[in-house]
Chain A
Amino acid sequence: MAEKIYHNGGCVVAMRGKDCVAIATDHRFGVLSQTLSTDFKKVYTVAPRLLLGLVGLQSDILTVLDRITLRKNLYEMENHEVSAKSFTSLLSTFLYEHRFGPYYVEPVIAGLNSHTLEPFLCTMDLYGCPTKVDDFVAAGSCACQLMGMGETLWRPNLQPDQLFEVIAQTILNAFDRDALCGWGATVYVVEFDKITKRTLKTRKD
Chain B
Amino acid sequence: METLLGIKGPDFVMLAADTTHANSVIVMKEDENKIHKVADNLLISTVGESGDTEQFTEFIAKNIALYKMRNGYELSPHSAAHFTRKNLAESLRSRTRYQVFMFVAGYDPKEGPELTFIDYLATSHSLNYGGHGYGSMFCASIFDRYWHANITQEEAYDVLKKCVLEIQKRLIINLKNFNVSVVDANGVRNLEQISAKSLTDYNAAQSA
Contacts and interface: CB of A to CB of B under 8 A. Distances in A.
User: Does B bind A?
Assistant: yes
Interface of A: 7-8, 29, 31, 34, 36-37, 40, 57-59, 62-63, 66, 101
B173 interface: no
A58 B93 contact: no
B137 A36 contact: no
Contacts of A101: 93
Central interface residue in B92, B119, B123, B137, by most chain A CB within 10 Å: B123
- Of all A-B residue pairs in the complex, the 4 with the closest CB atoms, nearest first, are A59-B122, A59-B121, A58-B123, A59-B123
Contacts of B103: none
A57 B85 contact: no
A31 B119 contact: yes
Interface string B116-136: 010101111101001000000
A58 B126 CA distance: 13
Interface residues of B, number: 16
Given A59-B92, A101-B93, A36 B124 contact: no
Interface of B: 85-86, 89, 92-93, 117, 119, 121-125, 127, 130, 137, 140
Contacts of B119: 31, 59
A36 B127 contact: yes
Central interface residue in A34, A40, A62, A66, by most chain B CB within 10 Å: A62
B122 A62 contact: yes
25 contacts: A8-B123, A31-B119, A31-B123, A34-B140, A36-B117, A36-B125, A36-B127, A36-B130, A37-B125, A37-B127, A37-B130, A40-B125, A57-B121, A57-B123, A58-B124, A58-B125, A59-B85, A59-B89, A59-B92, A59-B121, A59-B122, A62-B89, A62-B122, A63-B122, A101-B93
A62 B93 contact: no
A62 B93 CA distance: 15
Contacts of A63: 89, 122
Central interface residue in B89, B119, B125, by most chain A CB within 10 Å: B125
A8 B124 CA distance: 12
Nearest to B128: A37
Central interface residue in A31, A36, A40, A101, by most chain B CB within 10 Å: A36
Contacts of A34: 137, 140
Nearest to B89: A63
Nearest to B140: A34
A57 B122 CA distance: 10
Contacts of B122: 59, 62-63
A34 B122 CA distance: 17
A31 B117 CA distance: 12
